């Protein structure tokens, strides 16, 4: 692997986006009066909804996100329907739920027998935009490839997670490519750049969000005359939590884990709780670092005179428990895992404010196409809903619930299904030897400390009927065995 300095990289990018992207005409390119909007979509990994200062929950330092939130729409009830990396990404790009994409769990060597990967045949948002003349770019973590021979079992203990995506249809219209599969060395990230072959990945000695923000800035500065759609997938604040520059850790001073993990449902007396106790400051430090890098991208849009012409989204693939309920990481139905930030700004077109719309991941693709004037181009196979009219102040029907799903193709009869309504979370969990039901009144019990299952049969019957509707809609294998 080659090591490339920041200076050499910038020279290469500025010379004409020789990274495998769009031709260069510079910042002074002429623009049409009614030019289609650009799109910048930034989604760090494992960044929970509560970890933005303006939400008033976690004691985090996020000045750029706080300012951005005041300028756009903040969805306070956005959810990650299958809160883990690969299923989110497949649903984001296709507008379809996991059983339709086939990506019901993460892509890595153990799921290869179940064909867990993004199909070439899918029509993604990037395919639509590319075909309508957009320059589409992807930077950062992809995590939608199944490892392939001869590399499938070549990297030893821990399994094979990373995988090369060759140029062509597997990149789904992304012509600017600065990406990797799944690799968690945040301080020494590697990327396949442009048309580089599998054995020519490039490693940078730089914190990955900083490098990716710089790459995004070079992409924007060196754009051509076409509208662009840029997706920036930062890995932090995803574990390993210690891989964050000290400058961000230092901003939290001498704060203890008790100062940072202030949610009443945090239990540090478990093994996961002890992990949270050790890494809370580093997790929030990475949140602050991501905030700073996002701010750099926003400043670039301002400097280039693109603020009013660009739809900007900040969101995440799922949350992070960080000791809440005595748990770590994601996949579960609790708000710290299920809830994701979703902030969107389009100056002059969207009125800033907060909205409790139960936005699911498959809704994002059709909504963005609707906002970009391409509602008629939404593929017929899309299962999400186009909420662009709501965002543009034209009203429309709102969802009564959002789906929650936990599925492992190796154990299809186990797992969990549930829904999140504006007030309740209702989940049916199945496991070997039994199962359990969970019901939380998020209005009276926002930290989900009391399971009310069994206390209100009429309510549960209503919620189960709503869940059954979702299982039928998504062709879930559980749909005939829900009772």
Do 201 and 252 lie in one domain? The reply is: yes
Query: At which residue do the structure tokens 């020789």 appear?
Result: 18
**Two structure tokens written together for 22:** 């769009």
Q: CA 441, CA 454: separation in Å to the nearest integer?
A: 13
pLDDT in tens, 45-91: 999 999 999 999 999 999 999 999 999 999 999 999 999 999 999 99
Do 317 and 412 lie in one domain? The reply is: no
Do 45 and 75 lie in one domain? The reply is: yes
Do 310 and 388 lie in one domain? The reply is: yes
pLDDT at 33: 42
In 3D, which of 83, 53, 131 has the Cα closest to residue 427?
Answer: 83
pLDDT at 13: 41
Q: Kindly name the residue from 124, 130, 135, 143 that is annotated as catalytic.
A: 143
Q: Kindly name the residue from 85, 182, 257, 300 that is annotated as catalytic.
A: 85
Do 33 and 173 lie in one domain? The reply is: yes
Do 298 and 420 lie in one domain? The reply is: no
- Domain at 420, CATH number: 3.30.1120.10
Active site annotation includes 318: no
**Two structure tokens written together for 251:** 């901003």
pLDDT at 84: 97
Q: CA 124, CA 472: separation in Å to the nearest integer?
A: 23
Do 361 and 440 lie in one domain? The reply is: no
pLDDT at 433: 77
Q: CA 265, CA 327: separation in Å to the nearest integer?
A: 10
Do 372 and 419 lie in one domain? The reply is: no
- Confirm if 468 and 453 have CB atoms less than 8 A apart: no
Domains of the chain: total: 2
Domain boundary among 346, 378, 399: 399
In 3D, which of 351, 283, 272, 345 has the Cα closest to residue 315?
Answer: 345
Counting as low any pLDDT under 70, the low residues of the chain are 1-34, 153-158, 483
Do 10 and 158 lie in one domain? The reply is: yes
Domain boundary among 343, 372, 399: 399
- Domain at 147, CATH number: 3.40.720.10
Range of the domain at 383: 2-399
Do 391 and 421 lie in one domain? The reply is: no
Do 101 and 219 lie in one domain? The reply is: yes
pLDDT in tens, 328-377: 999 999 999 999 999 999 999 999 999 999 999 999 999 999 999 999 99
Do 209 and 152 lie in one domain? The reply is: yes
Active site annotation includes 257: no
Domain boundary among 348, 379, 399: 399
């Amino acid at each position: 692997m080659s090591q490339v300095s920041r200076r050499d990289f910038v020279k290469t990018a500025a010379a004409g986006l020789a990274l495998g992207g769009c031709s260069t005409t510079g910042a002074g390119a002429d623009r049409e009066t009614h030019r289609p909007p650009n799109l910048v979509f930034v989604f760090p990994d494992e960044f929970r909804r509560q970890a933005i200062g303006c939400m008033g929950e976690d004691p985090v330092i996020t000045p750029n996100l706080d300012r951005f939130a005041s300028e756009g729409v903040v969805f306070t009830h956005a959810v990650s329907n299958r809160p883990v990396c690969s299923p989110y990404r497949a649903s984001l790009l296709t507008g379809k739920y996991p059983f339709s994409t086939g990506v019901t769990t993460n892509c890595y060597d153990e799921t290869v027998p179940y064909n867990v990967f993004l199909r070439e045949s899918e029509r993604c948002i990037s395919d639509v935009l590319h075909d309508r003349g957009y320059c589409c770019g992807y930077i950062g973590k992809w995590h939608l490839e199944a490892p392939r021979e001869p590399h499938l079992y070549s990297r030893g203990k821990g399994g094979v997670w990373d995988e090369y995506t060759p140029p062509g249809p597997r990149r789904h219209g992304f012509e600017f490519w600065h990406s990797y599969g799944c690799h968690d060395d945040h301080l020494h990230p590697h990327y396949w750049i442009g048309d580089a072959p599998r054995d020519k990945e490039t490693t940078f000695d730089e914190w990955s969000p900083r490098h990716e923000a710089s790459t995004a800035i070079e992409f924007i500065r060196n754009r051509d005359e076409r509208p662009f759609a840029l997706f920036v997938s930062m890995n932090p604040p995803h574990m390993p939590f210690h891989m964050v520059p000290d400058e961000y850790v230092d901003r939290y001073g001498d704060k203890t884990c008790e100062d940072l993990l202030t949610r009443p449902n945090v239990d540090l007396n478990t093994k996961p709780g002890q992990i949270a106790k050790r890494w809370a400051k580093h997790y929030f430090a990475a949140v602050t670092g991501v905030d700073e890098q996002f701010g750099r991208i926003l400043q670039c849009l301002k400097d280039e005179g693109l603020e009013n012409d660009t739809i900007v989204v900040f969101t995440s693939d799922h949350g992070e428990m960080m000791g809440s309920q005595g748990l770590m990481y994601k996949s579960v139905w609790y708000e710290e895992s299920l809830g994701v930030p979703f902030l969107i700004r389009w100056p002059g077109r969207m009125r800033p404010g907060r909205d409790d719309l139960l936005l699911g991941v498959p809704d994002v693709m059709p909504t963005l196409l609707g906002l970009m004037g391409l509602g008629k181009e939404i593929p017929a196979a899309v299962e999400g809903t186009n909420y662009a009219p709501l965002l543009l102040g034209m009203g429309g029907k709102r969802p009564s619930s959002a789906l929650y799903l936990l599925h492992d193709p190796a154990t299809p009869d186990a797992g969990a299904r549930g829904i999140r309504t504006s007030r309740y979370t209702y989940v049916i969990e199945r496991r070997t030897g039994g199962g359990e039901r969970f019901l939380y009144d998020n209005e009276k019990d926002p930290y989900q400390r009391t399971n009310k299952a069994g206390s209100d049969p009429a309510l549960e019957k209503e919620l189960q009927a709503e869940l059954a509707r979702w299982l039928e809609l998504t062709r879930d294998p559980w749909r005939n065995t829900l009772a």
